[in-house]
Structure 1
Amino acid sequence: MSRPDPDVPGASDAGSSGHTVLVAMVAALGGFLFGYDTAVINGAVAAVRDTFHASPGVLGFAVAAALLGSALGAWFAGPLAGRMGRIRVMVVAAVLFLVSALGSGFSFSIWDLAVWRFIGGMGVGAASVIAPAYIAEISPARIRGRLGSLQQLAIVTGIFMALLIDFGLVAAAGGATRELWFGLDAWRWMFLSLGVPALAYGILALQIPESPRYLVARRRLVEARDVLAQYVGGDVDAKVVDIQRTLGADRRSRLGDLRGPRLGLLPIVWVGILLSVFQQFVGINVIFYYSSVLWQAVGFSEKDSLIITVITSVTNIITTLIAIATIDRIGRKPLLLIGSVGMVITLGTLAYAFGTAPLVHGKPALEGIMSPLALIAANVYVVFFGLSWGPVVWVLLGEMFNNRIRAQALAVAAAAQWLANFTVSTTFPVLQQIGLGFAYALYTLFAILSFLFVARAVRETKGRELESM
């Protein structure tokens, strides 16, 4: 990865979109690890349960420990990014991923596995904060939305690769609890495989430049000008002045800067928090965490359920690519509104299908047209989420806050997102017992509220410089 060269002719006028894309892709590797780490557990859950003879409650805690670690990692990533810089936080996240991979792969009990998963979760949380912030700060306004969407593309690609590698390891060993290489069971290799992208992330992060906003805050103005010239373009000196103006006083930013008149926080911080919460409360992770179990529960075979899960994962990747192609043309707010409308329709369809299905042995059984209708509705729901709330929320969180509070506000919003994720993931089994129709009706309600919230509270950021936020 080439470093900025202040003597490149015309560099200060246009910047290099090609270099910027490469740098953004390296930062988005954190999102890949984010998706990989959260999905790799899927193929190992049953094997972990059988190996350690874990009760359902203890097993659930071990799985959910990563989400709690993510909330903690997100909370502290912002302050650390302000003190250490964006690049060093990326390296810290890579180390956390690597430690988690090794610890989980060689775990000797369900309890130490939970600890290693928690540590990996802290890496996930840190990556979820630092990648969108860094990408927004290194990108020209004209392509910032597309580059910011790389975070979501990396997440869904990480999920897909984790599912694919889990499948490959199980196929090679003949079962997740079967011995594979060097006397280790296949499920242990699932966790150890995370170490490869973790190493790549840490090494590549050291090859990319520091954020120009951080460099200005640290009064490293020559370096800041070089980075702006190489990657952002435009009037570099004017940008430096704008950044200095928006950074305000000399003191470092802190969580106290987020205080405001409404329930203790600035209005823009509440907007970020609610965007994060709604992204989870529409139930997207029910599709990804429970899809195989869900489809089996309503009559599909185990094989067919796994195929549906893979199709859903690929669908999410494709729709994220559509979002990348359109976000800087259509804008952030219109995409969110379109996504909310689509989710209301599809979630409402799922609520009706499951709510009216006859019960067989206490479980809804989809009959006739309802079976393909529910399948289509679930995948179209993923389409609407994938082209809107999936990538757009990450883009907005990276660019909607001003320079002074960006890292801190993004940390708070991301922590809220992980807590919302934890809430949805842990309450779904209970809601499933009440009835799938009720569960999806609840998610439909949140999709309706998300539309009203965006229409009233979210401001468009397309084409605006970060210093004008």
Structure 2
Amino acid sequence: MNKKFSSTYIIGIAFISALGGYLFGFDFAVISGALPFLKDQFGLDAYMEGFATGSLALGAIIGCLVAGRVSEKFGRKRGLLVAASIFGLSSLAMAFAANTQLFIVARFFAGVGVGMASMLSPMYIAEIAPAPVRGRMVAINQLTIVLGILITNLVNYSLRNSGVNAWRWMFGLGAIPSTLFFLGVLWIPESPRWLLKMGRKNEAEGILQKIGGSDYATETIVSINKTFANTTTVSFKTVFEKAFLPAVSIGICLSVLQQFCGINVVFNYTATIFESIGASKDDQLLQTVFIGAINLIFTLLAMALVDKLGRKPLMLIGFAGLAILYIIITVLIGKGNPNVSWFLLAAIGLYASTLAPVIWVLISEIFPNKVRTLATTIAVVGLWAAYFILTFTFPILYEQLKEKTFYIYSAICAIGFWFMKIKVKETKGATLEEMDTMFSPH
């Protein structure tokens, strides 16, 4: 990190705010380990299995919409506090659910908390971090997501022989990270960009001075204020005006393509996939641990590359590589070949080092200041809607098409490669204020 910036302060803020990503990772992964137990407990068919998994995404869509309003009116910090509170309470509600309906309602509210955090954590980090290190700092959010996935998978595996109520412990333990997140957010400062928007210049200046000194604070305030000049109330209609539409449409398309690429079915339905090639319940849970470990290792690689190699090359590599790997995976599952696990791990590693972290960097930075909050909301809502469609339809598709389901995801990855190559510009090293003109039609 550049010596003129306060590395310790910036990294500390980024890690604490990125604990919202840990909650995302927890709820994202816990269902994979708990699903075999839930199916036994509640007798879930393919439709209910998909809905129990995907209900998180429906809540997350509401959470994104709530987060946008709360963060604009009350600040990013208070929005993160609300997210932590909702998540903690819903974790306990899932643990004590007496039937399928109550579980799904509780998981829906967990999704509200996760959705708020999934939008606010990367946006907050992007608004705090200086341009030269913004990619790495926003990628910390993805790092905490994968840490949440790995730790949750390890806990799930350790609880596998705890009896019929093992799944209750799996969900209830989510109250611990949500409490830590809540306490951490109490310490971090408010976003200086939001403070300036609210006319609280002195507070914003003090935070920016802590980040990069007096000169950095002065330059940043001037730059931010230019983008706020003549700003009027922003509505959803404003976001889709000609000046902003290119950036917004790119953000939405990338968010949807990142989910429709299909990799999250490997995370959420590991047990289903490995059950189809004859793996035992213990082996199914063990595979989730391997997946979590590979996910973490390759996310660390992505953090080293995102500000050096750039956003666009990583996204192109991710889409192209997954399109090829899915074809191989389809053939191996069809033959019942246990070596498919190696190619599934390769797909996870490729995704973790490319599409997974880079999409959060892009949607936290490409939108102009004037519409950043609403545009980020729309893009993340698109992401969660796509995640719901993906996770709801997979059990149904897999029941009908079996391994050939992965051919669909391969085709979508090919479309993603084309879209990224033709439509998206490189944003590495650009300030948030420079994004105002980068995707403008003028």
- The TM tier, using the shorter chain, reads over 0.9
User: Aligned match of 1:416 in 377, 382, 387?
Assistant: 382
Q: CA deviation at 1:120?
A: 0.8
CA 188–81 in structure 1, closer or farther in 2 if over 3 Å, else same: same
- The structure that has the greater radius of gyration is 1
How far apart, CA to CA, are the structure 1 residues paired with 2:232 and 2:149?
40
Q: CA deviation at 1:308?
A: 2.5
**Counterpart contact for 1:68–1:418, Cα < 8 Å:** yes
How far apart, CA to CA, are the structure 2 residues paired with 1:315 and 1:454?
25
How far apart, CA to CA, are the structure 1 residues paired with 2:380 and 2:58?
12
How far apart, CA to CA, are the structure 2 residues paired with 1:66 and 1:300?
27
User: Aligned match of 2:304 in 297, 303, 325?
Assistant: 325
**Does 1:384 find its partner at 2:364?**
no
Deviations, residues 246-288 of structure 1 (Å, cap 9, x unaligned): 12335443323212359xx711111001111111111111110
Q: CA deviation at 1:226?
A: 1.2
**Counterpart contact for 1:62–1:111, Cα < 8 Å:** no
State how 1:393-412 maps to structure 2 within 5 Å: 393-412=359-378
Partner of 2:271: 292
**Counterpart contact for 1:43–1:163, Cα < 8 Å:** yes
User: Aligned match of 1:345 in 324, 337, 345?
Assistant: 324
Q: How many residues get paired?
A: 433
**SS of the residue aligned with 1:330?**
coil
**Counterpart contact for 2:37–2:166, Cα < 8 Å:** no
Partner of 1:170: 160
How far apart, CA to CA, are the structure 1 residues paired with 2:176 and 2:169?
11
User: Aligned match of 1:95 in 68, 85, 92?
Assistant: 85
Please tell me the residue identity of whatever aligns with 2:397: L
Task: Give 5+ residue unaligned stretches, structure 1.
Answer: 1-12, 178-184, 358-364
Partner of 1:24: 14
Deviations, residues 215-252 of structure 1 (Å, cap 9, x unaligned): 10001101111111212455322211211111233544
**Counterpart contact for 2:223–2:433, Cα < 8 Å:** yes
**Does 1:244 find its partner at 2:225?**
yes
Please tell me the residue identity of whatever aligns with 1:219: G
**Counterpart contact for 2:33–2:285, Cα < 8 Å:** no
Report percent identity of matched pairs.
Answer: 36
TM-score, structure 2 as length reference: 0.93
**Counterpart contact for 1:66–1:117, Cα < 8 Å:** yes
**SS of the residue aligned with 1:14?**
coil
Please tell me the residue identity of whatever aligns with 1:257: T
**Counterpart contact for 1:82–1:252, Cα < 8 Å:** no
Partner of 1:205: 185
Task: Give 5+ residue unaligned stretches, structure 2.
Answer: 436-442
TM-score, structure 1 as length reference: 0.87
State how 1:118-157 maps to structure 2 within 5 Å: 118-157=108-147
Moved more, 330-339 or 103-112: 103-112
Partner of 1:3: none
**Counterpart contact for 1:15–1:229, Cα < 8 Å:** no
**Counterpart contact for 1:82–1:253, Cα < 8 Å:** no
Please tell me the residue identity of whatever aligns with 2:344: A
State how 1:2-13 maps to structure 2 within 5 Å: none
State how 1:55-74 maps to structure 2 within 5 Å: 57-58=47-48, 60-74=50-64
How far apart, CA to CA, are the structure 2 residues paired with 1:127 and 1:165?
22
User: Aligned match of 2:292 in 284, 291, 313?
Assistant: 313
How far apart, CA to CA, are the structure 2 residues paired with 1:301 and 1:49?
15
Please tell me the residue identity of whatever aligns with 1:80: V
**Counterpart contact for 1:139–1:232, Cα < 8 Å:** no
CA 126–238 in structure 1, closer or farther in 2 if over 3 Å, else same: same
Q: CA deviation at 1:468?
A: 0.8
**Counterpart contact for 1:344–1:448, Cα < 8 Å:** yes
Deviations, residues 110-150 of structure 1 (Å, cap 9, x unaligned): 22222111111000100110011001110011111111111
How far apart, CA to CA, are the structure 1 residues paired with 2:238 and 2:212?
27
Please tell me the residue identity of whatever aligns with 2:15: M
**Counterpart contact for 2:30–2:170, Cα < 8 Å:** yes
**Does 1:282 find its partner at 2:261?**
yes
How far apart, CA to CA, are the structure 1 residues paired with 2:276 and 2:324?
23
